Chains A and B, each alone.
Chain A
Amino acid sequence: MYSYSQFDKEFNQQRVSQFRKQVERRVEGALTEEEFRPLRLMNGLYLQLHAYMLRVAVPYGTLNSAKMRMLAHIADKYDRGYGHFTTRQNIQYNWPKLTDVPDMLDALAEVDMHAIQTSGNCIRNVTSDHFAGAAADEIEDPRPTAELLRQWSTDHPEFAFLGRKFKIAITGSETDRAVIKAHDIGLRLRRNAAGEPGYQVIVGGGLGRTPMIGKVITDFLPRADLLPYLESILQVYNVLGRRDNKYKARIKITVHENGIDTIREMVEERFKVQRAQFGGFDQKLLAEIETQFAPPAYVNASLDGFNAAYAADGAFRSFVDTNLAEHKNENYAIVSISIKKHGETPGDATSDQMRVMADLAEKFGHDELRISHEQNVIIPHVHKSNLYDLYKALVGADLATANIGKISDIIACPGMDYCALATARSIPIAQKIAVRFDELKLENDIGDLKIKISGCINACGHHHVGHIGILGLDRAGVENYQITLGGDGSEDAAIGERAGPGFSYDQIVPAIERIVHAYLELRDSAEETFLETYRRTGLTPFKAALYPETKIAAE
């Protein structure tokens, strides 16, 4: 894991002391709210419905036990004893006082963390595959590049005041767990025919009010060309991107309006100039960063205990079968800890739970943790001989829910329970769906099914790429929920199709139940997933199940 250099530490501390003085000037009245707002947003501080909210970056989702313990400490000392993990691999605190925030940032700086560029029209926290460095299907660990991008984009003067926010995601696997096609820029590490490392670059993806799947701008970019090429894309965006209309300001609209071929030509033209300015220091830096992401010192141990526990303990077997993913070392496993216990708030972990996860990562996981965009926590390197002890400790902390990838593993944005932009609530819908399907005892029968819920059109809950997407809106002063079906955030990314008229707060859970029952009836076999069935049958049979009264009227 990357450790801050002296330069990183000093920069971070300077930013905190700057912000401390800005807060003081705001409280004294020397700064108006209009003047202060962009300054607080640059430091991740929002004013939400009921209180301030501090959004802390977990760069590319990677942290260790010391960082996780500090997140727990901050939750206890300055907040309400919990934190909310988000779809951007951040953690949000919902109840800080303005005057406490500089102290919170100081505490974060102690463990090389910050809230810089978690808001504002700049390059945001770079996100990545939450199995990075561990996944069996990985070509290369994307985190060194992600760290390079963090350093390059932090306080980059040319890109601090873009037309709109700018999000970059990177993966090192063909299987896309980072939703790279729904980002302003998506990067996929790959090798060319000669075996040289490089990147596929995707541009112009995004969700929000105008969802778009990103387009390939280059299929293979040599590794050393990355930063000048990204600068060229951002420069073209800065020239062509619209500043007349906030809703048309993202690069997805620039790409859509100008066409990917024009954008590519302009980027390549610009690249000739930018490339000449990079003399190789960035690659030297990348090489230094890479040394800090060396694989853990894998251990050897007997798997007999694991095999015996797997055979004897049904609940453990269910946890293993559902929450584990294949590690590149066959004696290891990637453990996903579900922060989605049925009926609880998706992504919310208490400070006690954070400390348990930190302890377990330290004891059994080579001191590494990840936050996923699906709002779960991952211990990426666990030797299988330690799995049963780890599992029992998770049971004790109420963290052993075996539902990863299942219908109750729901992404939900904070919605109108917290967010000032929201048009409806998301969290209680997620809670009700999870509880309902737990009561029905259908979860395992249903299998892989991703429900994603957003409480407004900005789509923080990724509803467009949910197999079932739910969008909460305000329709004439009443909460109303629109359903989309067939979305997919993977390497086969697709935007879901709108099913029809929306449902009320009380009717949305029964509507989801009708869709799921339709799937169970329609599927070819228990092996055919919801998404496969949907792709085979299309919207029509699901629509008939969703709106039975319409069908009767038509007959």
Chain B
Amino acid sequence: MARAYTPKVLTANRLIEGDVVYLNASGEWVLFHDQAWLIEDEAVANTELAKALKLADLLVGPYLANAEMKDGTPIPTHFREEFRTKGPSNYIHGKQEAQ
């Protein structure tokens, strides 16, 4: 039996601002993880990653990050990705300013 695929979100940094963005289900790049598209199919994830890698004038370094659904919202499974959703812990800078 095939190993179960860990769901992913597709994430990158924006070229000009450098901030973290996520692909949503409408194909837009959004700032917040809870709006991200949780991709549960490996083939779909890889196709979307390949498409994102071609958006060189918009994004830097797109990659797939593990995530899971909790109370209807995708959340990161690793602390590094969790920090990327917010910003640093020493100042209220980055995305957490708007949250």
Q: Which residues of A contact B (CB under 8 A)?
A: 26-29, 32-33, 47-52, 80, 94-99, 345, 348, 416-418, 425, 427-428, 431, 474, 477-479
Contact = CB atoms under 8 A, between A and B. Distances in A.
A449 to B, nearest CB: 23
A51 B18 contact: yes
Nearest to A29: B57
A51 B16 CA distance: 9
Contacts of A96: 18
Nearest to B86: A50
B15 interface: yes
Contacts of B80: 49, 416, 474
A73 B18 CA distance: 21
Contact of B19 (A27, A33, A50, A431): A50
Contacts of B79: 416, 474, 477-479
A417 B90 contact: yes
A97 B18 CA distance: 7
- Give the contact-size bracket for chain B: 20 to 34
Interface in B67-91: 77-80, 83-84, 87-91
A186 to B, nearest CB: 32
B84 A98 contact: no
Contact of B17 (A51, A425, A428, A479): A51
B36 interface: no
A427 B90 contact: yes
Contacts of B38: none
B83 to A, nearest CB: 6
Contacts of B87: 50
Nearest to A431: B90
Contacts of A425: 83, 89
A50 B20 contact: yes
A27 B89 contact: no
A97 B17 contact: yes
Contact of B88 (A98, A417, A474, A478): A417
B60 A95 contact: no
B59 to A, nearest CB: 9
Interface in B1-24: 13, 15-20
A26 B61 CA distance: 14
Contact of A98 (B16, B61, B77, B90): B16
B94 A99 contact: no
Contacts of A48: 18
Interface of B: 13, 15-20, 56-57, 60-61, 77-80, 83-84, 87-91, 93-95
B76 to A, nearest CB: 11
B61 to A, nearest CB: 7
A33 B56 contact: yes
A417 B89 contact: yes
Contacts of B78: 477
A309 B37 CA distance: 65
Q: Which are the 3 A-B pairs with shortest beta-carbon distances? A: A417-B88, A51-B18, A52-B18
A47 B13 contact: yes
B90 A50 contact: no
B49 to A, nearest CB: 15
Given A50-B93, A477-B79, 13 more contacts: A29-B56, A32-B56, A47-B61, A50-B87, A51-B18, A96-B18, A97-B18, A98-B18, A417-B88, A417-B89, A418-B88, A425-B89, A427-B88
Contacts of B84: 49-50
B94 A51 contact: yes
Nearest to A48: B18
A50 B88 contact: yes
Contact of A417 (B17, B20, B56, B83): B83
Contacts of B89: 417, 425, 427-428
A94 to B, nearest CB: 8
A345 B90 contact: yes
B90 to A, nearest CB: 5
B15 A98 contact: yes
Contacts of A348: 90
Contacts of B90: 345, 348, 417, 427-428, 431
Most buried by B among A50, A51, A428: A50
B56 to A, nearest CB: 5
A537 to B, nearest CB: 35
A27 B59 CA distance: 10
Nearest to B13: A47
Q: Quick one: which of B19, B88, B94 has the most chain A CB within 10 A? A: B88
Contacts of A26: 15
Contacts of A431: 90
A416 B83 contact: yes
Contacts of A418: 88
A422 B75 CA distance: 21
Given A29-B56, A477-B79, A47 B16 contact: no
Contacts of A99: 16
B75 to A, nearest CB: 14
Contacts of B94: 50-51
A360 B65 CA distance: 49
